[in-house]
Amino acid sequence: MQRLHFVICMAICVLSGLSAHGQEQPISVSLDARQQLFEQLAADAKQFDARNILKKVVRVAKPSVVHIQSRKIVQAGSRRTIEEAGSGFVVEIDDRKFILTNRHVVFPTVADGVKISLEDGQKLTVLDINSDPSSDIAVITVRETDLLVPSRIGDRGKMDIGDFVVAIGSPFGLTHSITYGIISAKGRKDLSLGTQGVVIQDFIQTDAAINPGNSGGPLVNMRGEVIGINTAIASSSGGNEG
């Protein structure tokens, strides 16, 4: 059974120790010294925040990411449907803006079964969806193109194993969530990861946490550039196990 844990805060406090005679000895920290430590941590935190490249990466990449809610047909010929969440991101081609995602995020759906929203919750009107089963890519045209913020596309060929990356998406429907990791491998092929029928395979493997709902969202380098689409999960449970 999948469980999603929100880890709010964990603190481990060592309260006492043993003397050479086996007796407990109290540990005392003067209030003045503790206050000085708090002040020093506050100063250090400001310097850390100024250098924190992850915050800058998220700031430039996140506005281009959209949340996709799809009402899918369970089985051909059946009226039964299910709701699934996914992600996408904005690209600009020849001065025209589109939304790029995975085909399996938006197919097979019922008529008007794809709903798209921006980070601030604004809804977009879907006009057209074109897709390529061989690469599991879908391109979505929406009416409100003036609201779209295009992402910057990076050169995945310049990425090396061990480079840091950020995944942005809607795991378990939790929109615009951020996870962080490294490139674990490049050029993965001949994989069966829930993307059956995908002929064109040249996957980047990452240890950044990817869960259902991340599909279609961007994988971003430390320059804030998109270098891949989060497509599939390799795990026994169907969720991230890292």
Query: Which CATH number goes with the domain that contains 217?
Result: 2.40.10.10
Which of 83, 118, 147 finishes a domain? Answer: 147
**Number of domains present in the structure of the chain:** 2
Which member of 64, 131, 170, 215 is catalytic?
Answer: 215
pTM of the shown model: 0.77
Residue 234, pLDDT score: 63
Which of 90, 112, 147 finishes a domain? Answer: 147
Mapping DSSP to helix (H, G, I), strand (E, B) and coil, where does residue 96 land? strand
The answer to whether residues 182 and 114 belong to one domain is no
- Is 87 labeled as catalytic in the residue annotation? no
Token readout for 41 is 């941590």
Domain contains 239: no
- Is 104 labeled as catalytic in the residue annotation? yes
The answer to whether residues 84 and 112 belong to one domain is yes
Residue 241, pLDDT score: 43
Question: For residue 155, how many other CB atoms are within 10 A of its CB?
Answer: 10
Which member of 67, 87, 104, 170 is catalytic?
Answer: 104
Residue 115, pLDDT score: 96
Residue 29, pLDDT score: 60
Domain contains 236: no
Its domain, for residue 203, covers 152-229
The answer to whether residues 223 and 157 belong to one domain is yes
Strands 152-153 and 225-229: parallel
Domain contains 50: no
Contact present, 211 and 173 (Cβ < 8 Å): no
Which member of 70, 136, 176, 177 is catalytic?
Answer: 136
The answer to whether residues 161 and 213 belong to one domain is yes
Domain contains 42: no
- Is 16 labeled as catalytic in the residue annotation? no
Token readout for 150 is 């295009």
Q: Which of 103, 96, 112 is nearest to 133 (CA)?
A: 103
Residue 34, pLDDT score: 86
Token readout for 106 is 């938006």
Residue 197, pLDDT score: 65
Residue 193, pLDDT score: 55
Give the chain's residues under pLDDT 50: 1-22, 24-27, 195, 236-237, 241-242
Token readout for 86 is 């996914």
